[in-house]
Structure 1
Amino acid sequence: MNLKKVRIIRYHAESFDENYDDIAVEYPLTIKIEGEEFLTLVCSPEHLEELAVGILASEGLIRNLDQIESLSIDESKGYIYVELHNKKVINKDMISKRFIGSCCGKSRQFFFSNDVKTAKTIMTRTKISVSQCLSLMGKMQESSSEFHLTGGLHNAALCSKEGLIILRSDIGRHNALDKIYGYCIQNKIRLTDKVIVFSGRISSEILLKVSKIGAGIILSKSAPTSLALELANDLGITAIGFTRKDRLNIYTHPERIIDF
Structure 2
Amino acid sequence: MKQPPDASISIERTITRIGPQGRREVMDILLREERYELVCNGTCVAELHCMPSLLRELAVGRLRTLGLLHEISALRALSIDEQNRVIEASVAESPAPAVSAPVDVRLAAAQVHALQLAFNERCDLFRATGAAHSCALATPNGLLLFCEDIARHNALDKVIGAMLLQGLSPDGKILIFSGRLASDMLSKVVACGVRLLIAPGAPSLTSVEMAEAHGITLLGFVRRDNINIYTCPQRIC
Q: TM-score, normalised by structure 1?
A: 0.83
Shift of 1:224: 0.4
1:95-244, aligned counterparts within 5 Å?
123-244=102-223
- Deviating more after overlay: 40-49 vs 216-225: 40-49
Number of aligned residue pairs: 229
Q: Does the residue aligned with 2:140 lie in a helix, a strand or coil?
A: coil
Structure 2 counterpart of 1:247, one-letter code:
N
1:38 aligns with 2:17: no
Percent of residue pairs identical: 32
| Counterpart Cα distance in 1 of 2:208 and 2:42 | 39
Structure 1 counterpart of 2:58, one-letter code:
L
The Cα offsets for residues 235-260 of structure 1, whole Å up to 9 and x where unpaired, read as 000000001112110010000001xx
Contact 1:122–1:211, Cα closer than 8 Å, also in 2: no
| Counterpart Cα distance in 1 of 2:201 and 2:211 | 16
Residue matched to 2:84: 77
Shift of 1:130: 0.6
Residue matched to 1:98: none
| Counterpart Cα distance in 2 of 1:73 and 1:135 | 37
Shift of 1:122: 7.1
User: Which of the numbers 241, 246, 249 marks the counterpart of 2:225?
Assistant: 246
Contact 1:3–1:24, Cα closer than 8 Å, also in 2: yes
| Counterpart Cα distance in 2 of 1:190 and 1:36 | 29
Greater RCO, CA 8 A, separation 6+ = 1
Q: TM-score, normalised by structure 2?
A: 0.90
Change (3 A) 1:225 1:122: farther
Residue matched to 1:110: none
Residue matched to 2:4: none
1:18-33, aligned counterparts within 5 Å?
18-33=25-40
Shift of 1:187: 0.6
Change (3 A) 1:58 1:122: farther
Shift of 1:123: 4.4
Shift of 1:14: 4.2
List, as ranges, runs of 4+ consecutive aligned residues in structure 1 with deviation greater than 3 Å: 120-124
1:61 aligns with 2:68: yes
Contact 1:122–1:237, Cα closer than 8 Å, also in 2: no
| Counterpart Cα distance in 2 of 1:62 and 1:11 | 49
Shift of 1:24: 2.1
Q: Give the root-mean-square deviation of aligned CA atoms.
A: 1.9
Change (3 A) 1:224 1:126: same
User: Which of the numbers 8, 11, 16 marks the counterpart of 1:4?
Assistant: 11
Q: Does the residue aligned with 2:231 lie in a helix, a strand or coil?
A: coil
Shift of 1:208: 1.7
Shift of 1:11: 2.3
Q: Does the residue aligned with 1:128 lie in a helix, a strand or coil?
A: coil
